[in-house]
Chains A and B, each alone.
Chain A
Amino acid sequence: MTPRPSRQARGATRKLGELEAGARAVVRRVSGAPELLHRLMELGFVPGTTVTLVRRAPMGDPIELRLRGTHFSIRNSEADRIDVDPI
């Protein structure tokens, strides 16, 4: 699970939930309970994947993400388990 070095240089690692709407980033690491982790990874949150935070819901939570050509909504609490490198 080594991050791609070329991307690492572009910005400090942040939590996915902290991104601005419209920002893109590369997944670096996913943490959490085994089931949750496996589930997120099966959905495509594997290290090296590009993810876009499309928008936030009217009350700021959950968020809409674009990942591998699909749009998902997940809650901030789950998005905070995913470390990303902003592009």
Chain B
Amino acid sequence: MSIPSDLATAPLTLQEPGRHPEHGRRTRRKLIAIAGGPNCGKSTLFNKLTGLRQKVANYPGVTVEKKAGFVPLPSGRTVEVLDLPGTYSLRPGSPDEVVVRDVLLGVQASTPLPDLTLLVLDSTCLDRQLYLCMQLIEIGRPVVIALNMMDTAKEEGLEVDAALLARAFGAPVIPISGRTGSGMRELLLAMDREVAPPRAVTRTLPEPLRAAADPLTRMLPITGPLASLSRFHVAMALLLDEGEDDSLMRAVPHPLRREVLSLRASLDEEIPEWRSHEPIGHYRTIEDLIRRSTLRLKPETSVRERIDRVLTHRVLGPILFAALMAVIFQSMFLWATPIMNAIDAGVNALGRVLAPLLPAGPIRSLVVDGAIAGVGAVVTFVPQIAILFLFIALMEDSGYLARAAFIMDRLMRGVGLSGRAFIPLLSSFACAIPGIMATRTIDNRRDRLTTILIAPFMSCSARLPVYALLIGAFIPNRMVLGFLSLPGLVLFSLYMMGILAAVLVAWVLKRTALRGPRPLYVMELPPYRVPSWRSVILTVRDRAGLFVQKAGTVILAVSIVLWFLASYPKNAEVKPLEKRLEAVEHGAAASAALGVGAKAETKALRAEAAQIQNQIAGVSLRDSFAGRAGRLIEPAIAPLGFDWKIGIALLSSFAAREVMVSTMATVYNLGDADQTSVSLREKLRHAENPKTGERAYSPLMAVSLMVFFVLACQCMSTVAVVRRETNSWRWPIFMVLMMNALAWIASFAVFQGGKALGLG
């Protein structure tokens, strides 16, 4: 076995690879890949084997998750275990499946050829699961087969002859139950032993196909990554995998590639349906194996049928689904809000505690307003992400997620998406970030990208404070048609507008940039199972952790940049104010030290300090780079009815939309303001245009501004997550340009149209 040179830099190596004591030479840990179909209990087994010794990363260049962990074996040595994505076949149709094939054939960059493959099969539906098994055996590398869910199979009246399967494949077959843990000891022992390569199962291939594969096997290189695999399998893989320039084709020399292409062409001519001979041959063998190894003692149980009759019922199904969505949506708002507020309060408190410890000036400002506020903005999203993924993990593990997609598919197809896109889009009403992360359940790349790009149009909870401020300030509280309140109606229209924009953009994208053959929509509807708490909790932990880790670093960096832009260059008026602030704070500290007697004085001094701080913020923002930028963009936003002060707010809202409210407060030099703050509302309403002396802001401007907030992409956390999920800058940049152009055009139409109609 060759030692890969990039092992030391491989992203998944949790610790230094072991060094051989005598030779001082690096030796590689044994690598075991876990393969299996979707829903076979593979991940539960992986979690059981590795416990918390696991790490999630991405395979290089793709957004396929690489889950790896370490397992201590009975002999005392530790092996590295890789949990491959679930797949039905080794002939890839999606990026996930390309990764599985590439890892198992040893052509995946940064992942060495596994020493052993642990194939997990769901004993309750062996028939379909054996297809992957047949292909895996054919590779000719050591395989251990775990017959999972043997206890469930018994309950359902199925008896599987493990010994017969072991003889047929020439590989160890171990009955286990990931749920109860039975058979785990035997499985670990089998993973510890040296396993001989399995026996290829005889298969029936028509003579012309065999003849085509034959010369190819002779042309295969005898060195390199593919050399230790069955030549027949490699030849078949090359022939059957459709790609001309995919990773497997790139692993073989040029002349061989040309040979493969010409062989495919001649096979297409001679035997038009030659590709179907592999499945037909495999299934013939499988049917024979099933007949000999599996006994059905009882008729199939009807538990799932009884549940499905309700959950996918024509009328009840959609109602129950809507009710569940309402619960999820509500909890993302209701449960998350107190936690988010607590985090917010904690972050603010941390800032308050740290502030007096640091000298007033740039360092304090950088730490408190830049770093702490920026990281705080990231951490407040964690509760919503955790709650959404708790529900998604529960739905996925119980088997309900597939039914939800089944119910919603017809509706979502109206915009060219599949049923799987519904939950990510709905979650985006709470926050686009967990919504975008939830698109991982969509297997088609184009569908997933479309969903990611339209998710930020759903009005998230961060837009609500902005809507609330502007509606409160400018929309009269009147009744429409006698029973609808005008503010409520406006709020509803804003939400509808976002949905409409999403539908429109999805429709356009699916006909232009993301056009392509409609993917084959095949979804397994797995049996209902009680979710495993361990898997659910690990999923939630992974998602929240990934977000904090990856998006957090980008957000922190941008927060600091934004802080800098909003604080520099320093205005001359700031210096004396800072001096005064220091003096007042000093006085407050001294007064506090005096104890209870000086309580009133301390309070007054602290209030004065806060006021000076606001003054500093207002003065520095006005003349800062951000303030200048606000004035610079004024000509561009003037047609929308916005002045430079709103320009600053728009720019700063890129940190997070709700920041707009506090920025407005700072611009107007107010103290603590929130969306219900009467003083900020009054200020906005009565603000005057210094040139004309007229009211600066009209209700029409407010509507134009709200329309802008509905459509614009102003959230750097979203951009960071899109960057992460699409693994490129192309799509986040496209999203920012597209959304902001749309926002500008819509606001322009509203403001200018309204003025023409005499509304402004």
Closest to A77 in B: B518
Q: Please, which residues of chain A bring their CB within 8 A of the CB of B406?
A: 57, 62, 64, 73
B125 touching A70 by the CB < 8 A rule? Answer: yes
Chain B nearest CB, measured from A75 CB (Å): 5
B280 touching A74 by the CB < 8 A rule? Answer: no
Given contacts A36-B520, A73-B522, A74-B520, 9 further A-B contacts (CB under 8 A): A33-B517, A49-B283, A57-B407, A61-B410, A64-B308, A64-B525, A69-B127, A69-B128, A78-B522
Q: B275 contacts which of A34, A49, A61 (Cβ < 8 Å)?
A: A34
Instruction: Please report the C-alpha to C-alpha distance between residue A58 and residue B317 in the assembled complex, in whole angstroms.
Output: 7
Instruction: Please report the C-alpha to C-alpha distance between residue A72 and residue B127 in the assembled complex, in whole angstroms.
Output: 14
Instruction: Please report the C-alpha to C-alpha distance between residue A54 and residue B315 in the assembled complex, in whole angstroms.
Output: 17
Closest to A74 in B: B522
B407 touching A58 by the CB < 8 A rule? Answer: yes
A44 touching B127 by the CB < 8 A rule? Answer: yes
> Which residues of A, 6-56, contact B by the 8 Å Cβ criterion?
30, 33-44, 46-47, 49, 54-55
Which 5 residue pairs are nearest across A and B when measured between Cβ atoms? A59-B410, A41-B279, A68-B127, A71-B525, A69-B125
- B411 CB within 8 Å of chain A: yes
Q: Please, which residues of chain B bring their CB within 8 A of the CB of A37?
A: 273, 275-276
B523 touching A73 by the CB < 8 A rule? Answer: yes
- B402 CB within 8 Å of chain A: yes
A40 touching B127 by the CB < 8 A rule? Answer: no
A78 touching B127 by the CB < 8 A rule? Answer: no
- B124 CB within 8 Å of chain A: yes
- A60 CB within 8 Å of chain B: yes
Chain A nearest CB, measured from B18 CB (Å): 40
Closest to A39 in B: B520
DSSP majority for the A interface? mixed
Chain B residues with a Cβ under 8 A of chain A: 88-89, 91, 93, 124-128, 131, 240, 242, 273, 275-276, 278-280, 283, 304, 308, 312-315, 317-318, 402, 405-407, 409-411, 517-518, 520-527
How many A-B Cβ pairs are below 8 Å?
Answer: 118
A38 touching B128 by the CB < 8 A rule? Answer: no
A62 touching B128 by the CB < 8 A rule? Answer: no
- Residue in A43, A57, A64, A72 whose Cβ sees the most chain B Cβ within 10 Å: A57
A43 touching B522 by the CB < 8 A rule? Answer: yes
Can you list 15 A-B pairs, Cβ within 8 angstroms, ordered by A?
A42-B131, A44-B128, A44-B279, A54-B308, A55-B312, A58-B313, A61-B410, A62-B409, A67-B128, A68-B128, A69-B124, A69-B127, A70-B127, A74-B521, A78-B520
Instruction: Please report the C-alpha to C-alpha distance between residue A85 and residue B314 in the assembled complex, in whole angstroms.
Output: 27
B280 touching A46 by the CB < 8 A rule? Answer: yes
A57 touching B128 by the CB < 8 A rule? Answer: no
B522 touching A55 by the CB < 8 A rule? Answer: no
A68 touching B125 by the CB < 8 A rule? Answer: yes
A47 touching B410 by the CB < 8 A rule? Answer: no
B409 touching A75 by the CB < 8 A rule? Answer: yes
A73 touching B242 by the CB < 8 A rule? Answer: no
Q: Please, which residues of chain B bring their CB within 8 A of the CB of A40?
A: 520, 522
CB contact under 8 A between A72 and B312, given known A38-B276, A43-B88: no
Q: B410 contacts which of A36, A60, A64 (Cβ < 8 Å)?
A: A60
Closest to B125 in A: A69
Q: Please, which residues of chain A bring their CB within 8 A of the CB of B407?
A: 57-58
Count, chain A residues at interface, CB 8 A: 37
A35 touching B242 by the CB < 8 A rule? Answer: yes
Q: Please, which residues of chain B bring their CB within 8 A of the CB of A1?
A: 273, 276, 280
Instruction: Please report the C-alpha to C-alpha distance between residue A1 and residue B93 in the assembled complex, in whole angstroms.
Output: 24
Q: Please, which residues of chain A bring their CB within 8 A of the CB of B318?
A: 58
Closest to B409 in A: A62
B521 touching A42 by the CB < 8 A rule? Answer: no
Q: Please, which residues of chain A bring their CB within 8 A of the CB of B126?
A: 69
Instruction: Please report the C-alpha to C-alpha distance between residue A38 and residue B283 in the assembled complex, in whole angstroms.
Output: 13
Closest to B402 in A: A73
Q: Please, which residues of chain B bring their CB within 8 A of the CB of A44?
A: 127-128, 131, 279, 283
CB contact under 8 A between A55 and B308, given known A37-B276, A73-B402: yes
Q: Please, which residues of chain A bring their CB within 8 A of the CB of B283?
A: 44, 46, 49
B280 touching A47 by the CB < 8 A rule? Answer: yes
Instruction: Please report the C-alpha to C-alpha distance between residue A82 and residue B616 in the assembled complex, in whole angstroms.
Output: 73
A75 touching B127 by the CB < 8 A rule? Answer: no
Instruction: Please report the C-alpha to C-alpha distance between residue A49 and residue B279 in the assembled complex, in whole angstroms.
Output: 12
Closest to B518 in A: A77
Instruction: Please report the C-alpha to C-alpha distance between residue A32 and residue B278 in the assembled complex, in whole angstroms.
Output: 17
Q: Please, which residues of chain B bring their CB within 8 A of the CB of A77?
A: 518
Instruction: Please report the C-alpha to C-alpha distance between residue A44 and residue B127 in the assembled complex, in whole angstroms.
Output: 9
Q: Please, which residues of chain B bring their CB within 8 A of the CB of A34?
A: 242, 275
Q: Please, which residues of chain B bring their CB within 8 A of the CB of A54?
A: 308
Q: Please, which residues of chain B bring their CB within 8 A of the CB of A68?
A: 125, 127-128
Instruction: Please report the C-alpha to C-alpha distance between residue A31 and residue B374 in the assembled complex, in whole angstroms.
Output: 56
Chain A nearest CB, measured from B143 CB (Å): 19
Instruction: Please report the C-alpha to C-alpha distance between residue A72 and residue B522 in the assembled complex, in whole angstroms.
Output: 7
Q: Please, which residues of chain A bring their CB within 8 A of the CB of B405?
A: 73
- Residue in A35, A49, A69 whose Cβ sees the most chain B Cβ within 10 Å: A69
Chain A nearest CB, measured from B305 CB (Å): 8
B524 touching A59 by the CB < 8 A rule? Answer: no
Chain B nearest CB, measured from A18 CB (Å): 18
Q: B279 contacts which of A33, A46, A57, A58 (Cβ < 8 Å)?
A: A46
Chain B nearest CB, measured from A14 CB (Å): 21
B409 touching A57 by the CB < 8 A rule? Answer: yes
B93 touching A72 by the CB < 8 A rule? Answer: no
Instruction: Please report the C-alpha to C-alpha distance between residue A64 and residue B403 in the assembled complex, in whole angstroms.
Output: 10
Q: Please, which residues of chain B bring their CB within 8 A of the CB of A55?
A: 308, 312
Instruction: Please report the C-alpha to C-alpha distance between residue A35 and residue B521 in the assembled complex, in whole angstroms.
Output: 13
Chain A nearest CB, measured from B303 CB (Å): 13
Instruction: Please report the C-alpha to C-alpha distance between residue A37 and residue B405 in the assembled complex, in whole angstroms.
Output: 23
Q: Please, which residues of chain B bring their CB within 8 A of the CB of A58?
A: 312-315, 317-318, 407, 410
